[in-house]
Amino acid sequence: MRNHNNLAAEGYARIVVVFYLNKHRKVIQVSRSFSSLERKRYLHEMASREMDLLVIGGGITGAGIALDSSVRGLDVGLIEMQDFAMGTSSRSTKLIHGGLRYLKQGEIKLVQEVGREREILYRNAPHIVIPEWMLLPIIKGGTYGKWMTSFGLWVYDHLAKVRKNERRVMLNKEETLNKEPLLREDILIGSGYYVEYRTDDARLTIEVLKTAFHYGATMVNYAKADRFIYKEGKVVGVHVEDVAEGETYELYAKKVVNATGPWVDTIREMDHSKKGKFLHLTKGVHLVVDQSRFPLQQAVYFDIPDGRMMFAIPRDGKTYIGTTDTNYNGPLEDPDVTEEDISYILNGTNQMFPSLKLIREDVESFWAGLRPLIHESGKSPSELSRKDEIFVSESDLISIAGGKLTGYRKMAERVVDLVCLKLEQESQKSFPQSTTDKIKISGGNTAGYNHLEKGDSIKDDDSEFAAFKNKWVTEGESLGISSEVSCKLVNRYGSNVVKVFNKIMQNKDRAKEFNIDECLFGELVYGIEEEMVRTADDFLTRRTGNRFFDIQSALTNQEPVSRYLSTLFSK
Q: Which residues bind ligand FAD (CB under 6 A)?
A: 56-62, 79-82, 86-89, 91-95, 97, 224-225, 259-263, 284, 323, 369-372, 403-406
Distance CA 271, CA 482 (A): 53
Q: What is the nearest approach in angstroms of ligand FAD to the Cβ of residue 156? A: 16
- Do residues 358 and 294 lie in contact, with contact meaning Cβ atoms separated by under 8 Å? yes
HEC states along 252-267? EEEEEEECCHHHHHHH
- Burial class from Cβ neighbours inside 10 Å (0-12, 13-18, 19+) for residue 450 reads middle
| Exposure letters 469-492 (e unless 16+ CB within 10 A, then b) | beebbebbeeeebeeebbbbbbbb
Q: What is the nearest approach in angstroms of ligand FAD to the Cβ of residue 294? A: 19
Q: What is the nearest approach in angstroms of ligand FAD to the Cβ of residue 437? A: 17
Look at residues 462, 460, 490 and name the one whose alpha carbon lies nearest to residue 475: 490
Q: At a CB cut-off of 8 Å and minimum separation 6, what does 178 contact? A: none
Distance CA 310, CA 324 (A): 8
Q: Is the Cβ of residue 56 or residue 125 nearer to ligand FAD in the bound state?
A: 56
Q: What is the nearest approach in angstroms of ligand FAD to the Cβ of residue 432? A: 24
DSSP 480-540: T--HHHHHHHHHHHGGGHHHHHHHHHHTHHHHHHTT--HHHHHHHHHHHHHS---SHHIII
Q: Which residues pair with 224 in a beta bridge?
A: 241
Q: Is the Cβ of residue 249 or residue 468 nearer to ligand FAD in the bound state?
A: 249
Distance CA 513, CA 497 (A): 24
Q: What is the nearest approach in angstroms of ligand FAD to the Cβ of residue 241? A: 9
Distance CA 377, CA 400 (A): 20
Torsion sign over Cα 566, 568, 570, 571 = negative
Q: What is the nearest approach in angstroms of ligand FAD to the Cβ of residue 442? A: 18
Q: Is the Cβ of residue 259 or residue 473 nearer to ligand FAD in the bound state?
A: 259
Q: How many CB atoms lie within 10 A of CB 441?
A: 24
Q: Is the Cβ of residue 86 or residue 171 nearer to ligand FAD in the bound state?
A: 86
Q: Is the Cβ of residue 57 or residue 142 nearer to ligand FAD in the bound state?
A: 57
Q: Is the Cβ of residue 271 or residue 518 nearer to ligand FAD in the bound state?
A: 271
Q: Is the Cβ of residue 81 or residue 162 nearer to ligand FAD in the bound state?
A: 81
Distance CA 417, CA 497 (A): 34
Q: What is the nearest approach in angstroms of ligand FAD to the Cβ of residue 468? A: 25
Q: What is the nearest approach in angstroms of ligand FAD to the Cβ of residue 358? A: 20
Q: What is the nearest approach in angstroms of ligand FAD to the Cβ of residue 204? A: 10
Q: At a CB cut-off of 8 Å and minimum separation 6, what does 16 contact? A: none
Q: Is the Cβ of residue 156 or residue 263 nearer to ligand FAD in the bound state?
A: 263
Look at residues 157, 178, 181, 161 and name the one whose alpha carbon lies nearest to residue 169: 157
Q: What is the nearest approach in angstroms of ligand FAD to the Cβ of residue 281? A: 9
Q: What is the nearest approach in angstroms of ligand FAD to the Cβ of residue 341? A: 11
Q: Is the Cβ of residue 142 or residue 322 nearer to ligand FAD in the bound state?
A: 322
- Do residues 222 and 243 lie in contact, with contact meaning Cβ atoms separated by under 8 Å? yes
Q: Is the Cβ of residue 89 or residue 507 nearer to ligand FAD in the bound state?
A: 89
Amino acid at 247: E
Q: What is the nearest approach in angstroms of ligand FAD to the Cβ of residue 113? A: 12
DSSP state for residue 449 in the 8-state scheme: S
- Do residues 202 and 532 lie in contact, with contact meaning Cβ atoms separated by under 8 Å? no
- Do residues 493 and 530 lie in contact, with contact meaning Cβ atoms separated by under 8 Å? no
Question: ∠392-393-398 over CA atoms, to 5°?
Answer: 40
Measured in degrees and rounded to the nearest 5, phi and psi for residue 488 equal: -60, -45
Q: Is the Cβ of residue 272 or residue 429 nearer to ligand FAD in the bound state?
A: 272
Q: Is the Cβ of residue 21 or residue 96 nearer to ligand FAD in the bound state?
A: 96
Q: Is the Cβ of residue 216 or residue 262 nearer to ligand FAD in the bound state?
A: 262
DSSP state for residue 138 in the 8-state scheme: E
Q: What is the nearest approach in angstroms of ligand FAD to the Cβ of residue 56? A: 5
Q: Is the Cβ of residue 469 or residue 547 nearer to ligand FAD in the bound state?
A: 547
Look at residues 298, 321, 323, 319 and name the one whose alpha carbon lies nearest to residue 308: 323
Q: What is the nearest approach in angstroms of ligand FAD to the Cβ of residue 134? A: 12
